[in-house]
Amino acid sequence: MSEITKRCDSTSKTVLIVEDNTDIREMLKMALEYRGYKVYEAENGQKGLEALSKLKAPCLILLDLMMPVMNGWEFMEALREDMTLLTIPIVVVTAYSEKANSLSDKTEGIIKKPIDLKKLYQSVDDWCGSLHEA
């Protein structure tokens, strides 16, 4: 596990999902809750920032890129300006693998859509520490 993982609040095991597609967002929530994570949802970057201002920092943000109001790139820019939020690991979930490639230094990982459930679990478990192993 990397240092960033250690900075996570190990007791919360909270994941923030920022995704505009309701079906995908609900399915992600269902899958992660089933695995024992507490999940917060936001339908765009703006809502994501609002959620972060009210919540304890989650151990991971799953971030879509193409969203209305505030897209994934703008959301990441906004996080950079807030020292408390800067350290939260972000995994980008996107269909645009080419566009996401350029983000590799700003994110902790990229999950390509359509999402492979095993890869999703692996990624979330990596950054938040598996509840199953605990």
Partner 1 sequence: MQEQERESNKALDGLLRPELALELIDVALVWCDNQGSLVWCNRSFEELIERAREEIVGHCIHDMIFNDKEGEGYRLKMKDGSIRHLEIHQKKTKEVDEDGDFTLYSIRDVTAKREAELSSQKANAFINILLENIPDMVFVKDAKDLKFVRLNKAAEEIIGQSRDRLYGKTDYDFFSKEAADFFTAKDREVLSSGKILDIPEEEIVSKTLGKRYLHTKKVPINDSNGAPEYLLGISEDITKKRRIEELRLQLKEEEISRKEAEKGLKTREDFISIAAHELRTPITPLKMQLEFIPEYLKGAKFPHREEALALLEKSRKQLDAFILLVDKLLDLSRITSGRLSLSLEKTDLKTPINSVIDKMEYELSRAGSKLDLELEDNVIGLFDPTRIEQVLSNLLGNAIKFGGGKPIKLSLKKRGSNAQITIEDNGIGIPIDKQKLIFQVYERAASNKRFPGLGVGLYVSKEIVSAHHGLITVESEPGKGSCFQITMPLSVDEFGAK
Residues that bind partner 1 (rule: CB under 8 A) add up to a total of 19
Can you tell me the distance from the alpha carbon of 49 to that of 52, in angstroms, rounded to the nearest whole number? Answer: 5
Q: Per CB under 8 A, which region of 30-38, 54-62, 67-75, 82-90 contacts partner 1?
A: 30-38
Q: How far is the CB of 87 from partner 1 (least distance, A)?
A: 27
Q: How far is the CB of 106 from partner 1 (least distance, A)?
A: 16
Applying CB under 8 A, among 1, 3, 11, 23 the residue interacting with partner 1 is 23
Q: How far is the CB of 3 from partner 1 (least distance, A)?
A: 25
Is 101 near partner 1 (CB under 8 A)? yes
Structural contact between residues 37 and 123, judged by C-beta atoms closer than 8 angstroms: no
- 82-114 core/surface letters (b: 16 or more CB in 10 A; e: else): eeeeeebbbbbbbeeeeebeebeeebbbbbeee
Structural contact between residues 71 and 45, judged by C-beta atoms closer than 8 angstroms: yes
Is 12 near partner 1 (CB under 8 A)? no
